[in-house]
């Protein structure tokens, strides 16, 4: 008992209350909607900035083999959507 209280006291004084790394501001996000791009393990939840996209549009960038689900609308995580946007840049707009 005496040992425990001494240890706590020592730690508090050596860190001055300032040396505790705060990992509370970035909790690991756990979503419901996985990204449908093959090999991508991020979440495509709206909360996480994910998007829905027509399958055909995504095929333009990743090809049919790069998409893990064949559904009319696939889910994209934020980084994958960015990739898509980048690939599409410079092409004439065919849709709005």
Contact 67, 58 (CB under 8 A): yes
Min dist. Cβ of residue 90 to Zn ion (A): 22
Binders in 40-79 for Zn ion, by CB under 5 A: 40, 42, 77
> Binding Zn ion by CB under 5 A: which of 35, 58, 67, 74?
35
Min dist. Cβ of residue 40 to Zn ion (A): 3
Q: Which two tokens stand for residue 90?
A: 């410079």
Contact 43, 30 (CB under 8 A): yes
> Binding Zn ion by CB under 5 A: which of 25, 37, 58, 69?
37
- Taking the C-alpha atoms of residue 56 and residue 13, their distance in angstroms, rounded to an integer, is 61
Min dist. Cβ of residue 76 to Zn ion (A): 6
Beta bridge partners of 86: none
């Amino acid at each position: 008992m005496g040992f425990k209280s001494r240890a706590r006291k020592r730690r508090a004084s050596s860190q001055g209350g300032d040396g505790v790394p705060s990992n509370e501001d970035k909790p690991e996000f756990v979503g419901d909607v996985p990204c449908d791009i093959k090999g991508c393990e991020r979440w495509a939840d709206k909360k996480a900035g994910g998007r829905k996209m027509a399958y055909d549009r995504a095929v333009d960038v990743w090809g049919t083999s790069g998409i893990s689900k064949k559904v009319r609308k696939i889910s994209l995580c934020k980084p994958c959507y960015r990739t898509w946007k980048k690939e599409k840049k410079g092409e004439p707009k065919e849709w709005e």
